């Protein structure tokens, strides 16, 4: 399935556009458009990762989560040790 596209216009600093054009000439990207699309996708992914990092950072202060995590660690400690021993025997 082909994604729909919308034509738009950006205003960029001349030196930045020159660097994009150089990347195109050097074959590092197919076109200005593909370069911009890839850059936007990377930035949106980075922002998404940053959002996840914020959520995980909050978990470090969440007493209820920390208590539950500690309980799960204790409950599964034996199973983890058994799985490790089993893997070592099979290796």
- Placement of tokens 């089993």 in the chain: 86
Same domain, 17 and 56: yes
Q: How does 22-36 read in b/e, with b if 16+ C-beta sit within 10 Å?
A: eebeeeebeeeeebe
What's the average pLDDT block by block, 10 residues per block, for the chain (91 residues)? 86 97 97 96 94 84 88 79 75 63
Q: How does 42-81 read in b/e, with b if 16+ C-beta sit within 10 Å?
A: eeeeeeeeeeeeeeeeeeeeeeeeeeeeeeeeeeeeeeee
Same domain, 22 and 55: yes
The model's pTM: 0.60
Do 81 and 75 touch, CB atoms closer than 8 A? no
Same domain, 56 and 18: yes
Give the pLDDT confidence score for residue 1 in this predicted structure: 64
Same domain, 69 and 40: no
Domain that holds residue 88: 62-91
């Amino acid at each position: 399935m082909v994604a729909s596209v919308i034509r738009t216009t950006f205003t960029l600093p001349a030196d930045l556009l020159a660097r994009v054009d150089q990347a195109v000439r050097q074959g590092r990207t197919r076109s200005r458009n593909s370069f911009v699309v890839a850059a936007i996708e990377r930035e949106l992914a980075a922002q998404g990762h940053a959002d996840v990092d914020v959520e995980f950072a909050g978990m470090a202060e969440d007493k209820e989560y920390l208590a539950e995590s500690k309980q799960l660690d204790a409950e599964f400690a034996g199973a983890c040790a058994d799985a490790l021993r089993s893997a070592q025997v099979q290796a």
